[in-house]
Amino acid sequence: NCTPPAILEFPDDFFTQRQRQRGAVVLNFIISLYMFWAVAIVCDDYFVPCLEIICDRLGLQTDVAGATFMALGSSAPELFASVIGVFITKGDIGVGTILGSAVFNVLFVIGVCGVGAGTVLYLAWWPMVRDSVFYLFSLVGLMLVLMDNVVVWSEATAMVSFYSVYLLIMYFNPRIEAYLYRVTKTTTPEYKSDLHEQKATKTKYDPVQQTDNEVEAEILDNVNGSDDTTKKGLLGRIYELYFNKEKVKSPLIVGFGEHLAHHHEYEQHVPHDVPDLTLGSPFSPPENVWPRICWVLGLPINLSFFLTIPDVKKPSCEKWVVLSFIICIVWIGVTSYVLVWMVTVIGYTFLIPDSVMGLSLVAFGSSVPDCLSSLFVARKGDGDMAVSHTVGSNVFDILLCLGIPWLIKTTVWEYDSSVVINSHGLFISCFFILGSIAVTLIIIWYYKWTLNKKVGCIYLVFYFIFMSISVVVEMNAFGNFNPPMCVIDV
């Protein structure tokens, strides 16, 4: 028994299997990396600003907006990988990507924040516990779906419906949070106390002390992101992180809308002096060598997006937000298709199952922008914003990024049909992810809701342990969990 390879669902590759095995597969690797970059840029620099304007016009509460539209912005690559896995490859690359991204967000991203922050990060317990509980229920629900390796319409409906409960909790989150902190007699990490601690940190590490208003404005900018920050785009923030560390700023929305209420009050104090590397005009190369190399490599995709997508961050283009939204969806779909195509070819070349490629390469590549975003904020001392979205986004990934494509396939696309999951190993991987949730909460609780370099290293070690075990299981080292791919001459 073998599984038909997903490569049959894509156009013919440039090379034969023999040519790829002799080294031509390097080209597929290069194209896949370029598509990772393209997806990150279109999501980060164009799609998310569209979603912000839409949320603002709809008047959505911050927490609800973060759990819906902004979650869509950060999880768009995973969603499209899932759609392609359900409707095109009919394999496990979508489920593998969601599970791989989930554990990447929980262990790797938080670990990187702890190691790279350069200071101790203080976390609020309620957002972590809230999202972890929903993540736990979501994962248990997914395990129930995967038990028989067949997804039917009722199971998909239940997954999508359960997300409405999460939205309801997010809607009442401010009241619930205030009540819980009052009952448990614990203090919330109030804005002013955060400000005081970060002022102390700023004074300790900065040779030039700033006034209260300047520090206050900069911290608020790091928490919420300024309009100017988003104009820098993905490359601009990478430049700020690695080449201009004195001026690091966060993306516009990193978490699920925490602390955004303070943004407009101090917006006028935010400095605007960071070089523009990607947006505004792709024809202006930066001066430094490494950013210039990145600019040259990214010019084709940046130019394509610049010429086809209205940049809604410019006031004159805000009226085209719906058109920009639609074009972004098209671009994300196209780049995701090419990405999954290249990854599928790479997997088939080395006879690696789709589930393994999803767990590892696709999950890692699609989650790197979120990791960078969290690291930006962590380096400025805001622990809540750095890690609050990592667990919450997993709830969106599991319930909607998997649930919606499954629901459409089993009701609209092919009524009363089912989606077959080939690998039994994905069910086993869910057990390890449950363990990752426990590890996350226990370690953070033990260290009194703080994140430092030691805690970060522990998380990174657990991530690599999880990935090693999951890949070994998927490769049938401990049993026949995953049917082998049928070998054909393509």
Question: What span, in angstroms and rounded, lies between the C-alpha atoms of 110 and 106?
Answer: 6
**pLDDT score for 302:** 92
Contact by Cβ (8 Å): 238, 294: yes
Is residue 142 assigned to a domain? yes
Q: Residue 246: CA atoms inside 13 Å, Cβ hemisphere, count?
A: 7
pLDDT at res. 217? 42
Crossing angle of helices 125-146 and 153-171, rounded to 10° = 170
Contact assessment for residue 61 and residue 388, using Cβ atoms and an 8 Å cutoff: no
239: nearest Cα among 191, 288, 197: 288
Asked, for residue 360, whether it belongs to a domain, the answer is: yes
The pLDDT of residue 207 is above 50: no
225: Cβ contacts below 8 Å, ≥ 6 apart: 249, 250, 251, 252, 253, 254
The answer to whether residue 302 sits within a structural domain is: no
Assess if residue 14 is contained within a domain.
yes
Cα–Cα distance, 250 to 270 (Å, whole number):
12
Q: Dihedral of the CA atoms 25, 336, 6, 430 (nearest 10)?
A: 110
Report helix, strand or coil for 32: helix
**Is 17 domain-assigned?**
yes
Q: How many independent structural domains does the chain possess? A: 1
In a domain, 483, yes or no: no
User: Each residue of 234-285: pLDDT tens digit?
Assistant: 444 444 544 444 333 333 333 334 433 333 333 333 334 444 444 456 777 8
**Alpha-carbon gap, residue 438 to 429, rounded angstroms:** 15
- pLDDT, tens digit (0-9, with 9 covering 90-100), for 127-177: 888 889 999 999 999 999 999 989 999 999 999 999 999 999 988 988 888
Range of the domain at 54: 6-193+318-475
pTM of the model: 0.77
Least confident piece of the model among 223-227, 353-357, 385-389, 447-451: 223-227
In a domain, residue 284? The reply is no
- CATH code (residue 411): 1.20.1420.30
Q: Residue 161: inside a domain, yes or no? A: yes
Q: What CA–CA distance (Å, rounded) separates 298 from 80?
A: 22
Q: Is 48 exposed, middle or buried (0-12, 13-18, 19+ CB in 10 A)?
A: buried
Structural contact between residues 191 and 259, judged by C-beta atoms closer than 8 angstroms: yes
Residue 280: strand, helix, or coil: coil
* Helix intervals (H) in 227-353: 227-242, 289-308, 321-349
